[in-house]
Structure 1
Amino acid sequence: MKERAEFLEKVKKRLLDRRLEMVQDLDNLITQKVSDGQVQDTGDEALSLTMENLKSSLEKTDIDELKLIDDALSRLDKSEYGVCVDCGEPISLKRLETFPYAKRCIVCQESFEA
């Protein structure tokens, strides 16, 4: 029981650290968007549009990961973390170590993705 509690504390810290890092990265992206308004010529404009599209794509990916992290933190607070949302069986610690915001066991995840 103590082992599991220690594991859950480590996971929570890891999730909170990653969340903070992502929020800071998103904040930096938003700040850059505001300050990147000046374009010198057509070549710069094309590069600027390409960079803007890349930033938007990264931003969406980060926001999606942030949602997964928030969901995992919510499940931790409700003592539902580590239990598959589909079958109710425990998710392996190895899977949770690799993918700390997993909400399905590997069998259910494979079925979900099929």
Structure 2
Amino acid sequence: MTRVQFIQSLTSQLERRGEQTRGSLRVEMDELQSLHDQSVGDFGDRGIEAHASELVGKLAESESRELAEIEDALQRLHDGHFGDCLDCGKPIPVNRLRAIPHAARCIRCQETLESGRLLAA
């Protein structure tokens, strides 16, 4: 399989993952709403509710981020720029795309980006 064929095959995989993530996100948002709508009894119950709400919120945030990355990848596919690193412009290795189909950067540029975020934090 050529690189072009491989990249084309990722389109349906990305679309499926995007739909799965949208579904999971809807469930989590419904669960968050349900947690907020429940009338809670004592202080312990409110603590459990707050903890559960925080966990569901973090999961929803993570899935929202992944969905945005998937949608960006689908846009790059549409524009003909998928598979090229956003920073250095070099082709992203196929093994990286197999592991993370929505990857926007090669490993080196991603590590540079993440180390910059760590320094800024």
Structure-1-length-normalised TM-score = 0.87
How many angstroms does 1:12 deviate by?
A: 1.1
Identity, in percent, stands at 35
Hey, what's the Cα distance between the residues in 2 that align with 1:48 and 1:95?
39
Letter in 1 for 2:44: G
- Where do 5+ consecutive residues of structure 2 fail to align? 116-121
Letter in 2 for 1:21: Q
Matched, 1:47 2:48: yes
* 1:84-95 paired onto structure 2 within 5 Å: 84-95=85-96
* 1:1-114 paired onto structure 2 within 5 Å: 3-36=2-35, 37-38=37-38, 39-114=40-115
Once the two structures are superposed, residues 45-90 of structure 1 have per-residue CA deviations (whole angstroms, 9 ceiling, x without a partner) of: 2111110111111111111111111111110000100111122111
How many angstroms does 1:44 deviate by?
A: 1.7
The secondary structure found in structure 1 opposite 2:102 is coil
Letter in 1 for 2:60: E
Contact 2:3 2:94 in 1 (8 A): no
Structure-2-length-normalised TM-score = 0.83
CA RMSD of aligned residues (A): 1.6
State the aligned residue count. Answer: 113
- Where do 5+ consecutive residues of structure 1 fail to align? none
Letter in 2 for 1:73: L
Letter in 2 for 1:56: G
